[in-house]
């Protein structure tokens, strides 16, 4: 077998290959992806599905003059390989390594940075308008998946693009999957387009007739294309994309490079927006991923032979505990409903879905709708629990304020992946939710420190009268997971903190921790006390409302205070403490705030990045000793690097 991939260092090298060579290259890239992702982890199934599509795009187009915009961007690995980044794959998604998403600072071929869904068509429209105003060159292609097409923003952009006749090409990469099974009426509609044999026959007949119409020079005229489209679609109901003002082409086999390029050529002859419907197989070429695309959507290191994970079985995740607790609560309370925005497996909501399908709603990648639909459920008398990753909840900010909080409705927002998420990097960090939710009246907001507290907090939130937010991080839950019966669940007093190490008079230090930072703070506090530094520890539990009396008492009785939160410092937990002290006229003698400063946190292992931001036990100890004692003492008390 020729090693075509070895010779590819940029797209000029790709353009030298032809016909069957491109097919062989596709096979080599698949093998490369499999070998690399099985070591580093990453978005395997989506990337295996877009190999030919990416080869065809880069072979046909002239990037970066022609612009390819990847929606979400998790499927852009072949794009990275072909644009000169093949040798960086050993460090894919690692600290300082290759990003798992398009990133403008990484390559001129990454036109639009992404990570969140359904932005590509809007960006394409903007680029097309800039091209028009500034007399620029180049074709503009947005590549969007069928899952991403469930996002409202995509439709806002289709609506606008069709209206203004933006000269853009939208490639709809339809693999019939979101992360889990795709949902919704559009998804059903796409199935009709894909599978209707009558449509196929009509299309072929019409194409035969159209080909008999005389051509003008070498190009098929725009009018002819439009007539062809109109005729083709007069045979089926609901010509969705045509109604939006797009010219629909396809469906075309997304694993056939030659056919794809033929369709790009055809798209080029059409003025105005084109939607090319491309059919691909998620996980293509790797049987375990083809069979189970959900599990292989985003993976850690695995064994290629059978797809088994290389990670030894870890503790239960917060998401799993959330899903199991919710299911137990729902068994007793028929009003509880579960809502997810296309993340049933990630949020643990699939556990609830298995037992209560009639009260479970996957709304697609539609966080705004998920929140407002939850408020409708609440208004109708249900108890909605809507689980959304912190980073994706950013999409639904106004819905939380306007639809949930002002109306003071009884719903629970379960904010998953709150804090540092690790290898997904900047776009996915859940580092802003305290800051953006804390100012909202009527909301209460708590953060779970471990497996045990998560269960009590969910019980508390579900039974709270008004909008309640419960925040918890990605990955394995701290503490032991003993699943509680409903009778054993405790309703926490709203706004009540817990004094884990008592505040007495004349403390050297009080550590105010919340959520994921409580356990590392506890380790640091223990060491400090063992070494003669009188240290108290408070788990604030609620960022809103704060336990004002306990915090004020702690501040008054401590020579030093440390706040620690897995969040940006601006507007978060420490800000709340400072506001409280200022409002009460209490002077803080010495305060250190541990958290993330005014910067985006880049990719890297979760523990590695927590260490970098001093959110681990050693980091907290180091901060404490910088207030209490000389720096050398850190190494004496905590010699090794890690927790």
Residues that bind ligand DXP (CB under 6 A): 72, 74, 179, 297-298, 346, 417, 421, 424, 474
Over the window 255 to 294, marking each residue x when it contacts ligand TPP by CB under 6 A and - when it does not, the resulting string is ---------------------------x------------
Provide φ and ψ at 600, rounded to 5°.
Answer: -90, 135
Q: What number of other Cβ atoms are within 10 A of residue 108's Cβ?
A: 10
Q: How far apart, in whole angstroms, are the C-alpha atoms of residue 8 and residue 54?
A: 14
Give the strand pairing for 360-362 and 383-389. unpaired
Q: Which of 41, 100, 145, 338 binds ligand TPP (CB under 6 A)?
A: 145
Q: Which of 22, 154, 339, 342 binds ligand TPP (CB under 6 A)?
A: 342
Joined tokens for residue 116: 């969140």
Is 395 an annotated catalytic residue? yes
Choose the contact partner of 148 out of Mg ion, ligand DXP, ligand TPP, none; CB within 5 to 8 A by kind: ligand TPP
Q: Is 430 in the site for ligand TPP (CB under 6 A)?
A: no
Choices 99-107, 174-182, 229-237, 524-532; region in contact with ligand TPP by CB under 6 A: 174-182
Q: Is 75 in the site for ligand TPP (CB under 6 A)?
A: yes
Is 80 an annotated catalytic residue? no
| Least gap, CB of 108 to ligand TPP (angstroms) | 24
Which of 161, 159, 160 minimizes the C-alpha distance to 141? 161
- Whether 520 contacts 620, CB under 8 Å: yes
Q: How far apart, in whole angstroms, are the C-alpha atoms of residue 97 and residue 602?
A: 10
Contacts of 31 (CB under 8 A, 6+ apart): none
Over the window 389 to 418, marking each residue x when it contacts ligand TPP by CB under 6 A and - when it does not, the resulting string is ---x--x-----------------------
Over the window 566 to 605, marking each residue x when it contacts ligand TPP by CB under 6 A and - when it does not, the resulting string is ----------------------------------------
Task: Print the SS3 string covering 443-509.
Answer: CEEEECCCHHHHHHHHHHHHCCCCCEEEECCCCECCCCCCCCCHHHCCCCCCCCCEEEECCCCCECE
| Least gap, CB of 576 to ligand DXP (angstroms) | 27
Q: What number of other Cβ atoms are within 10 A of residue 427's Cβ?
A: 19
Which of 394, 392, 401, 334 minimizes the C-alpha distance to 364? 392
Q: Which of 71, 146, 167, 616 binds Mg ion (CB under 5 A)?
A: 146
Is 282 an annotated catalytic residue? yes
- Residue 598 annotated in ligand binding: no
| Least gap, CB of 197 to ligand DXP (angstroms) | 34
Q: Which C-beta is closer to Mg ion: that of 26 or that of 278?
A: 278
Q: Which of 206, 365, 413, 457 binds ligand TPP (CB under 6 A)?
A: 365
Over the window 107 to 126, marking each residue x when it contacts ligand TPP by CB under 6 A and - when it does not, the resulting string is ---------xx---------
- Whether 144 contacts 118, CB under 8 Å: yes
Sheet of strand 468-471, all strands in order from the earlier edge strand to the far edge: 360-362, 336-340, 383-389, 412-416, 468-471, 444-447, 542-544
The neighbouring-strand residues paired with 340 are 362, 387
| Least gap, CB of 240 to ligand TPP (angstroms) | 17
Please tell me which residue in 232, 395, 438, 471 is annotated as part of the active site: 395
Q: Is 145 in the site for Mg ion (CB under 5 A)?
A: yes
Q: How far apart, in whole angstroms, are the C-alpha atoms of residue 106 and residue 134?
A: 25
| Least gap, CB of 148 to Mg ion (angstroms) | 7
In the complex, the residues that contact Mg ion under the rule CB under 5 A are: 145-147, 175, 177
Catalytic residue ranges:
282, 367, 395
Binding site members for Mg(2+): 146, 175
């Amino acid at each position: 077998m020729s090693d075509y991939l070895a010779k590819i260092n940029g797209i000029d090298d790709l353009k030298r290959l032809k016909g069957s060579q491109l097919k062989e290259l596709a096979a080599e890239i698949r093998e490369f992806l499999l070998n690399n992702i099985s070591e580093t982890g990453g978005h395997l199934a989506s990337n295996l599905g877009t190999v030919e599509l990416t080869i065809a795009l880069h072979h046909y187009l002239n990037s970066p003059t022609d612009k390819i915009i990847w929606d979400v961007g998790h499927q852009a690995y072949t794009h990275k390989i072909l644009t000169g980044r093949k040798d960086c794959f050993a460090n894919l998604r690692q600290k300082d390594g290759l990003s798992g998403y398009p990133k403008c600072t990484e390559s001129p071929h990454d036109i639009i940075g992404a990570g969140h869904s359904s932005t590509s068509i809007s960006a394409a429209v903007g680029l097309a308008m800039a091209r028009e105003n500034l007399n620029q060159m180049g074709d503009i292609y947005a590549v969007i998946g069928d899952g991403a097409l469930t996002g409202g923003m995509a439709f806002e952009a289709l609506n606008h693009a069709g209206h203004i006749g933006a000269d853009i090409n939208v490639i709809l990469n339809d693999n019939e999957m979101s992360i889990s099974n795709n949902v919704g009426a559009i998804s059903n509609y796409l199935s009709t387009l894909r599978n209707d044999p009558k449509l196929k026959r009509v299309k072929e007949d019409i194409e035969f007739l159209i080909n008999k119409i005389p051509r003008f020079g070498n190009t098929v005229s725009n009018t002819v294309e439009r007539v062809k489209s109109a005729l083709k679609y007069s045979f089926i109901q609901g010509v969705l994309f045509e109604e939006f003002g797009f010219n629909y082409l396809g469906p075309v086999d997304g694993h056939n490079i030659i056919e794809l390029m033929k369709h790009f050529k055809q798209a080029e002859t059409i003025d105005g927006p084109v939607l090319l419907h491309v059919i691909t197989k998620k996980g293509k070429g790797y049987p375990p991923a083809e069979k189970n695309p959900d599990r292989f959507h985003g993976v850690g290191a695995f064994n290629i032979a059978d797809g088994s994970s290389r990670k030894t079985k870890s503790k239960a995740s917060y998401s799993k505990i959330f899903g199991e607790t919710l299911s137990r609560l729902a068994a007793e309370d028929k009003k509880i409903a579960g809502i997810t925005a296309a993340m049933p497996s990630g949020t643990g909501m699939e556990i609830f879905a298995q037992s209560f399908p009639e009260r479970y709603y996957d709304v697609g990648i539609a966080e705004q709708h998920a929140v407002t639909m939850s408020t409708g459920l609440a208004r109708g008398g249900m108890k909605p629990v809507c689980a959304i990753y912190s980073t994706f909840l950013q999409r639904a900010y106004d819905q939380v304020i306007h639809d949930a909080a002002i109306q003071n409705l009884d719903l629970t927002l379960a904010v998953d992946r709150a804090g540092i998420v690790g290898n997904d990097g900047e776009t996915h960090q859940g580092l802003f939710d305290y800051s953006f939710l804390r100012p909202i009246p009527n909301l209460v907001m708590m953060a779970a420190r471990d497996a045990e507290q998560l269960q009590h907090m969910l019980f508390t939130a579900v039974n709270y009268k008004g909008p309640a937010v419960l925040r918890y991080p990605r990955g394995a839950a701290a503490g032991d997971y003993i699943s509680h019966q409903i009778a054993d669940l405790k309703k926490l007093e709203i706004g009540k903190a817990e004094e884990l190490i008592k505040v007495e008079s004349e403390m050297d230090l009080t550590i105010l921790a919340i959520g994921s930072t409580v356990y590392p703070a506890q380790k640091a506090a223990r060491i400090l006390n063992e070494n003669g530094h009188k240290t108290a520890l408070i788990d604030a539990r609620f960022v809103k409302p704060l336990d004002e009396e306990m915090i004020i008492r702690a501040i008054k009785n401590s020579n030093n205070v440390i706040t620690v939160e897995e969040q940006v410092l601006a507007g978060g937990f420490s800000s709340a403490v400072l506001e409280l002290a200022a409002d009460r006229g209490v002077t803080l003698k010495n305060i250190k705030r541990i958290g993330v400063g005014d910067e985006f946190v880049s990719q890297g292992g979760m523990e590695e990045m927590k260490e970098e931001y001093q959110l681990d036990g050693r980091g907290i100890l180091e901060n404490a000793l910088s207030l209490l004692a000389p720096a050398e003492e850190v190494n004496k008390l905590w010699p090794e690097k890690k927790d």
